Structures are given as structure tokens and as C-alpha cells.
């Protein structure tokens, strides 16, 4: 299934997971879960995953991938991030934001609900700027990393490297 943004690429996912500093007992939130790629990988490292997306087709696809992989510690929610987050009584240890409208407001909620790490992926410079400025205003900005990946590709009997679009990984956290 093709969803806007597509699944998080392997190399970017590895950096995201490292920056999230996931632990076995964690409650992990995936905002804008899309294909479920981050949720599925995080589920291997944490106690419980909560995956939300405003698109019904994304939730259906991600649920199917989780079922096929026999991953049972993910709960999926068809909801916009703001509505979901304002109804939460219990917090989370870490959160990943792979896509979200109204990013500043979502990050404001996450600043109140997340105990350790928030990681945001951005491909647009405007999203990078909004995430950094919001996390700075909230006093939890840690760093922004540009991830540039090039992969081998056959050419004229040899190989060349083809660059993929850069992704910005923005990290926030209280510790």
C-alpha cells in the first residue's frame, strides 16, 4: 500500500530507535503511524505501543502488518493526534512523530505527557523549523540531525551511489 510519506527507511529508523532510547518496560507512542513500520520495530523493545493515525487506511494497513508479524503489544487508534492526546490520563515514556498536522500543538501535548524522549522525523524544512522552535520554546530541545543516505545502484556493469532525500531527526526530551 502506498501512503503519503511511505514507510520510514531502514537507516533512518535505526537512528530514530537509537535516539528514542527505548527500554523494555516503556509505554511508547507513535503519532502518525502510517504503515506501522516504526510501531512494529519499537514493539520488539518496549512493553506497549500506542499507534495513532488520522487515516483509516493507514490504521487498517498497520494492523494487518502487525497481525501478519504476530505482534500483539500494539494498540491502534484511528484518531487525529490532538484529540487522542487531550484525552490521555496516563503518560508515555517515549514518543515518535512521523507525521502530524498542527505539530506545535501536538508537541505541546507530548511535552506534558512524555517522560523521556520525543523524536520527530521531518522532510520539509518548514517542519524542521517548526519542530525545533517548538521544542526550544518548551525547553526540551536536544538536537537536530540531518540524515543523508546514498545506496548502491547498478550502472554500466558497475555500481554507483544514488542519494535519497534527506530526513531531519529532531530530538526532544526531559533527560
Report the alpha-carbon distance of residue 46 to residue 123 in Å, rounded: 27
DSSP assignment of 127-142:
HHHHHHHHHHHTT-EE
Report the alpha-carbon distance of residue 148 to residue 22 in Å, rounded: 23
User: In terms of DSSP H, where are the helices of the chain?
Assistant: 10-20, 37-43, 56-68, 81-86, 103-113, 125-137
Q: What is the pLDDT of residue 174?
A: 86
Number of compact structural domains in the chain? 1
Give the number of other CB atoms < 10 A from CB of residue 97: 24
Report the alpha-carbon distance of residue 161 to residue 75 in Å, rounded: 39
Residue 98 falls inside a structural domain? yes
The conformation of residue 102, written as its DSSP 8-state character, comes to: S
pLDDT at 8 over 90: no
Q: What is the pLDDT of residue 101?
A: 82
Residue 5 falls inside a structural domain? no
Task: Write the pLDDT tens digit of every residue in 154-164.
Answer: 999 999 999 99
Q: By percentage, how much of the chain surpasses pLDDT 70?
A: 95
CA dihedral over 141, 24, 58, 54, signed as positive or negative: negative
Residue 4 falls inside a structural domain? no
For residue 28, give its domain range: 10-173
Please name which of 46, 38, 148 lies closest in space to residue 96, comparing C-alpha atoms: 38
Residue 43 falls inside a structural domain? yes
Three-state DSSP class for residue 17: helix
The residues facing 146 across adjacent strands are 168
Q: What is the pLDDT of residue 6?
A: 65
CA dihedral over 63, 66, 68, 72, signed as positive or negative: negative
* Residue 99: band (very low, low, confident or very high) from pLDDT cuts 50, 70, 90: confident
* Residue 2: band (very low, low, confident or very high) from pLDDT cuts 50, 70, 90: low
Residue 113 falls inside a structural domain? yes
pTM score over 0.85: yes
Residue 2 falls inside a structural domain? no
The larger pLDDT score, comparing residue 26 to residue 6, is at 26
Report the alpha-carbon distance of residue 39 to residue 174 in Å, rounded: 22
Question: Any idea what the CATH number is for the domain that residue 123 is in?
Answer: 3.40.50.150
pLDDT at 49 over 70: yes
* Residue 1: band (very low, low, confident or very high) from pLDDT cuts 50, 70, 90: low
Residue 30 falls inside a structural domain? yes
Q: Pseudo-torsion of CA 5, 50, 103, 114, nearest 10°?
A: -140
Residue 3 falls inside a structural domain? no
Amino acid at each position: 500500500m502506498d501512503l503519503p510519506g511511505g514507510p520510514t527507511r531502514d537507516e533512518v529508523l535505526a537512528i530514530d530507535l537509537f535516539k528514542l532510547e527505548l527500554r523494555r518496560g516503556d509505554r511508547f507512542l507513535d503519532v502518525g503511524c502510517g504503515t506501522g513500520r516504526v510501531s512494529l520495530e519499537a514493539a520488539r523493545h518496549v512493553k506497549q505501543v500506542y499507534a495513532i493515525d488520522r487515516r483509516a487506511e493507514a490504521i487498517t494497513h498497520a494492523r494487518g502488518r502487525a497481525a501478519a508479524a504476530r505482534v500483539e503489544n500494539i494498540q491502534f487508534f484511528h484518531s487525529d493526534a490532538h484529540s487522542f492526546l487531550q484525552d490521555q490520563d496516563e503518560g508515555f515514556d517515549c514518543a515518535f512523530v512521523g507525521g502530524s498536522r498542527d505539530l506545535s500543538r501536538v508537541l505541546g501535548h507530548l511535552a506534558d505527557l512524555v517522560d523521556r524522549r520525543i523524536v520527530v522525523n521531518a522532510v520539509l524544512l518548514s517542519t524542521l523549523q517548526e519542530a525545533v522552535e517548538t521544542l526550544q520554546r518548551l525547553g526540551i530541545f536536544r538536537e537536530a540531525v540531518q540524515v543523508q543516505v546514498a545506496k548502491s545502484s547498478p550502472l554500466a556493469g558497475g555500481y554507483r551511489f544514488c542519494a535519497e532525500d534527506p530526513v531531519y531527526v529532531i530530538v526532544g526530551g526531559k533527560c
